[in-house]
Structures are given as C-alpha cells and as structure tokens.
C-alpha cells in the first residue's frame, strides 16, 4: 500500500516504524547519544536509530533542530520522519541532517513496527506488508433514519457486524456505478436519489487499508430485501449507531456524509 503525502525533505529510506500519537520535541524527548526516547512515558526506551519515526507534528524549541543534527553526527537519528503536519523545527532539522521527511500522512494508518519506505522526493510512504482495498459504502436515508445491514457468516470480512450497503470496486469500474450495482444486489433497491458523496476516506483494520468511497442516497418507499451477504436489516436514527457492533469507520462515514449534506 502506498500512501501519498507531501515531500518536505528529500531522500529515500526504510525501516521499522516507531509511532507516537502526540506531538514530539527532539529537545528533551530523546537521548541524542543513544537515540532512545525519553518521552512520552509510554514510549520511553524505544529506539529511534534507523527507524521511520512517525508522529503528528513537532513542538518545542528551535534547539530541537540542532538536536537532530547532533543525532545525525552520532549516528542515532531516525532513517526518516513521517508527520501529519510538518512545522519549522522538525523540517529544519530534517533538511540539515539530510533525512527524508514526508507530511500530510494520517498516522492512524500506521502501526508500531510497520516496515515503511519513505520517499522524500515523491512524497510517498510505502507499506509493503499492508494491503490496499477499494470499496464503496452506501448510506440509504429515509426520513430521519438510515439503513444498516448485518453481515452474514458467509462473507469474507467483518462477519456479524453492521454496515451500510457496500462492495468492492472492481478494476476499471467507477465507484458510483459500483454503488448502484451493490444497492440493487444487496438490498434490491433500484430507485434511489444521490444526495451527496464524500471525499475518499482511508481506514485501517489489521493489515488492510480500506479506501472507502461513501455515498448518501435518499429513498422513499424502498422495500429492502437482503441477499446472502446479510442476515437482517434495520432503519435507525444516526445517533443509534453507538448501540450496534458496526464495521470500522462506518460511524465516521455517516457523520461525514450527513455533514456534507448540510453544507
């Protein structure tokens, strides 16, 4: 799976991912002599040397840039850095130390220990051991309720969990065409009005990153009949989703589509 971000500091390197969920300061956050993390407490002792160091953004003093340069001289610096948002301290340090830096990558798509290849020339992060899959999710809305379906034990993923109408986007197929096809096959719905669609959403589950093309459809008198992929269906209010065991990212998809509709 290749994630596309923004190239900040050039170069290409790979290594195991060391992941933090909070902003990080190189000044005081790492032992420059060894490359061992000092903070945050839950990551204390992690070895940055030769790693792909991923964290949301940098913080702290500009002296952090010189800490990075010092680590480069000592051979304890990470091989590459991945940020959600690059700021001047880490950017300056990465350029001075000559290591690749890519930002605009959601760290929610990374895991500790992932083998990652960071290309600071093209602005990409490749995860060779993570598979990418492209799907559609259709949220059908009738009045103030949306349709959810419970996945059967015969499907390949997320058995027994609740979701919208969904399916894989086949090679050469447009996501909207897939959406109409899946509604007809899975719910026997052939009359639906497209209300809005969201920007593709990336969600990670295990060793798969799902690219979700989400669509909101309005229906009036639809008589839903499920196929073998589902065992039951319900019309619920969106705020009731928390009461169901839903597939990863579905609540976020619904929220995003409904907010798009309100614009």
Question: In terms of DSSP H, where are the helices of 207-249?
Answer: none
190-204 tens-digit pLDDT: 999 999 999 999 999
109, 68 Cβ separation under 8 angstroms: no
Percent of the chain residues past pLDDT 90, beyond the cut: 97
**In the predicted structure, residue 262 carries a pLDDT above the cut 60:** no
Domain 131-261 carries which CATH code? 3.90.79.10
Structure tokens at 249: 């990212």
Measured CA to CA, the distance from residue 151 to residue 165 in angstroms comes to 10
| Contacts of residue 243, Cβ cutoff 8 Å, sequence gap at least 6 | none
112-159 tens-digit pLDDT: 999 999 999 999 999 999 999 999 999 999 999 999 999 999 999 999
Question: In terms of DSSP H, where are the helices of the chain?
Answer: 26-29, 63-74, 88-97, 175-186, 250-261
Local confidence band at 177 (pLDDT 50, 70, 90 cut-offs): very high
Given CA atoms 246, 249, 254, 255 in this order, what sign does their dihedral have?
positive
CA dihedral 233, 237, 239, 243 (to 10 degrees): -30
Location of structure tokens 């933090």? 20
Distance of CA 72 to the CA centre of its chain: 30
For the residues 8-36, what does the mean pLDDT come to? 98
Active site residues: 61
Location of structure tokens 């480069």? 72
Torsions phi, psi of 208, nearest 5?
A: -125, 135
Question: Which part of the chain is CATH 3.90.79.10?
Answer: 131-261
By DSSP bridging, strand 124-126 and strand 2-4 are: antiparallel
Question: Which part of the chain is CATH 3.50.30.10?
Answer: 2-126
User: Could you tell me the fold of the domain covering 2-126?
Assistant: Glucose Oxidase; domain 1 (3.50.30)
**In the predicted structure, residue 187 carries a pLDDT above the cut 50:** yes
Q: pTM of the full predicted structure?
A: 0.91
């Amino acid at each position: 799976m290749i994630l596309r971000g923004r190239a900040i500091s050039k170069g290409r390197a790979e290594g195991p991912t060391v992941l933090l969920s909070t902003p990080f300061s190189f000044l005081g956050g790492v032992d420059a002599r060894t490359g061992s993390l000092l903070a945050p407490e839950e990551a204390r002792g992690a070895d940055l040397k030769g790693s792909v160091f991923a964290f949301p953004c940098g913080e702290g003093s500009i002296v952090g840039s010189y800490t990075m340069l010092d680590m480069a001289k000592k051979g304890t610096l990470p091989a590459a850095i991945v940020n959600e948002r690059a700021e001047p301290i880490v950017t300056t340090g990465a350029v001075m130390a000559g290591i690749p830096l890519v930002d605009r990558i959601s760290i929610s798509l990374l895991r500790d220990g992932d083998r990652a290849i960071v290309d600071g020339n093209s602005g990409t992060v490749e995860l060779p051991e993570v598979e990418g899959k492209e799907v559609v999710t259709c949220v059908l809305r009738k009045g103030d309720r949306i349709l959810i379906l419970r996945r059967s034990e015969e499907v390949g993923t997320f058995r027994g969990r609740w979701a919208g109408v969904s399916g894989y986007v086949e090679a050469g197929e447009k996501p909207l065409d897939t959406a109409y096809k899946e509604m007809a096959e899975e719910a026997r719905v052939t009359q639906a009005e497209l209300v809005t669609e969201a920007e593709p959403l990336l969600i990670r589950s295990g060793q798969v990153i799902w690219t979700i093309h989400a669509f909101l459809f309005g229906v009036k008198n639809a008589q839903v009949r499920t196929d073998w992929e589902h065992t039951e269906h319900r019309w619920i209010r969106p705020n009731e989703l928390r009461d169901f065991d839903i597939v990863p990212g579905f609540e976020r998809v619904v929220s995003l589509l409904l907010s798009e509709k309100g614009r």
